[in-house]
Chain A
Amino acid sequence: MPRSNTAETGDRLSESALLVLAALAGGAKHGYAIIQEIEREAAQRMGPGTLYGIISRLEGASLIEPLEMEERGRVPYRITGAGRRVLTEQLANLRRYQTALKALAAR
């Protein structure tokens, strides 16, 4: 029986994990670039420990994978096929949620 995509993470993705996954959807990035991208696009300052906690969980769930180490010890990560599926599913859930909220608020 096929598992749902979100089951790959063992649970629903947190908002911060979703941000990291979305930041990697546009291409491979190392930790500092992920933090900068999230700060620029979502106005959220993610701490280094928080980021690596998320990276560890996403990597454990095979939603992202590390690439070759670059200069100064930086390691870029890229989203996997499974990660992209989970991201798409989560975005669809958020859109459904938004639609439901709008409908409820309009009553």
Chain B
Amino acid sequence: MSPQLAEFLVRLHGKRWRERYGTEFTALLVELPATPRTIADALWSALTSRGAEIAIVFGALIACLAIGYVNLNANEIQPPLLLIFVANAVFIVLRPRLAWFWMALFGLTVVASYVIVAPFGIAGVDPPKHTYEALIALVPSVVEGLLVLGARAAIIGLRRSG
């Protein structure tokens, strides 16, 4: 196969895998014909090399579904907020570089839950007067996210100094 296609297939793999096997895997791919089976096999390898990323995406999806479900079925703001806090803390610790993304994602899940179920005639137990008012959930999500980031930085600083 062409070096360009081989390099593209290697780039689809996870960073750690690429660093370890990237060069030799590229060399192997270049020697093989570019059959659909070979390409599919390399694509599957790329997918499995990203096992941790896939688990995180799947976990984030589950967290969003849980926040949305609890938000639609709770009378009070505390239960979905608690879930947002937990999800934020877990995912910021797992992937701190995506901290802003997690804060936005989990904060926006509240308003998204109303938007997604509205076409099915579901309003939730205690919906806001106007759907956009649910955007307020972004505030505690960002505040808590920043606190988690701060705590994380403090812990890292303490470990380095200790």
B20 contact set on A, CB distance < 8 A: 56
Hey, which chain B residues are within 8 Å of A49, CB to CB?
41-46, 48
Given contacts A32-B31, A32-B32, A53-B48, contact A48 B42 (CB under 8 A): yes
Residue-wise, chain B 54-65 has the 8 Å CB interface mask toward A (1 for contact) of: 000000000000
Per-residue CB contact flags for chain A residues 22-45 toward chain B (1 = under 8 Å, else 0) read 000000001110010000000001
**Chain A contact residues: over half helix, strand or loop, or mixed?**
helix
Q: Is A96 an interface residue (CB 8 A)?
A: no
Please tell me if B101 contacts chain A, counting CB pairs below 8 Å.
no
6 pairs from A and B in contact (CB 8 Å cutoff)? A31-B25, A48-B25, A48-B38, A50-B45, A51-B28, A69-B23
8 Å CB contact of A31 from B24, B37, B40, B41: B24
CB of A77, distance to nearest CB on chain B (Å):
9
Residues of B within 8 A of A (CB): 17, 20-21, 23-32, 37-38, 40-46, 48
Q: Is the CB of B27 within 8 A of A47?
A: no
Say yes or no: A73 contacts B27, CB within 8 Å.
Answer: yes
Residue from A30, A47, A55, A74 whose CB has the most chain B CB atoms within 10 Å: A47
Q: A53-B48, A73-B26, A73-B27 are in contact. Are A48 and B21 (CB under 8 A)?
A: no
Per the bound structure, the CA–CA distance linking A35 and B38 in Å amounts to: 12
CB of B27 within 8 A of CB of A72, answer yes
Q: How far is the CA of A51 from the CA of B21 in the complex (A)?
A: 12
Chain A residue at minimal CB-CB distance from B41? A47
B26 touches A48 (CB 8 A): no
